[in-house]
């Protein structure tokens, strides 16, 4: 049985449902996009992910958009803004929308070199759940 690697940094969480479902994290020390696989028969997420490397430009865009979200979330948790101001709502944040256009296709198209992996989540003890540097957890990966 192959063991999981060390806990690695998660840069961005793009989707969460009972755990991280999509985002950008280090896998073996390098930035990768990850997306949870869906089981059509069981109508639920499987425990496996597809992972593939991303280039520095893509990582920079993901991090910039994440920082926009983290800034909004800090205001939201302080009770200063409501959900209607979430930057993911089209037209709410111009830069978010620009980045979304650039990343939309990249987030959906899984390259042929994508690998299957399983992940274990390790929670980080810190004040902010969604900090500008990333969410408050790391992932340990096991490539299949």
pLDDT, one tens digit per residue, over 65-110 is: 999 999 999 999 999 999 999 999 999 999 999 999 999 999 999 9
pLDDT of the residue at 1: 54
Establish if 28 belongs to a structural domain. Answer: yes
Establish if 54 belongs to a structural domain. Answer: yes
pLDDT of the residue at 39: 65
**Nearest 5°: phi and psi at 19?**
135, 170
Question: What predicted TM-score, i.e. pTM, was given to this entire model?
Answer: 0.92
Average pLDDT over residues 34-45: 72
Comparing 2-16, 39-53, 73-87, the range with the smallest average pLDDT is 39-53
Q: What is the pLDDT of residues 132-141, one digit of tens each?
A: 999 999 999 9
What is the 3-state secondary structure of the chain?
Answer: CCCCCCCEEEEEEEEECCCEEEEEEEECCEEEEEEEEEECCCCEEEEEEEEEECCHHHHHHHHHHHHHHHHHHHHHHCCCCCHHHCCCCCCCCHHHHHHHHHHHHHHHCCCCCCEEEEEEEEECCCCCCEECCEECEEEEEEEC
Establish if 39 belongs to a structural domain. Answer: yes
pLDDT of the residue at 84: 97
Establish if 128 belongs to a structural domain. Answer: yes
Domain that holds residue 74: 8-138
Give dist(CA 138, CA 75) in Å, integer.
24
What's the structural domain count of the chain?
1
User: What is the residue-averaged pLDDT of the chain?
Assistant: 94
């Amino acid at each position: 049985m192959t063991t999981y690697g060390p806990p690695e940094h998660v840069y961005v969480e793009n989707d969460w449902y009972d755990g991280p479902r999509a985002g950008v994290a280090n896998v073996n020390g390098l930035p990768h996009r990850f997306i949870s696989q869906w089981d059509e028969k069981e109508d639920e997420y499987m425990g496996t992910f597809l992972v593939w490397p991303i280039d520095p430009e893509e990582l920079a865009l993901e991090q910039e958009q994440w920082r926009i979200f983290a800034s909004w979330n800090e205001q939201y948790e302080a009770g200063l803004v409501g959900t209607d101001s979430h930057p993911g709502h089209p037209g709410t944040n111009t830069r978010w929308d620009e980045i979304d256009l650039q990343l939309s296709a990249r987030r959906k198209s899984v390259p042929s070199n994508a690998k299957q992996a399983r992940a274990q989540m390790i929670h980080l003890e810190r004040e902010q759940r969604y900090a500008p540097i990333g969410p408050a957890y790391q992932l340990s990966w096991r490539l299949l």
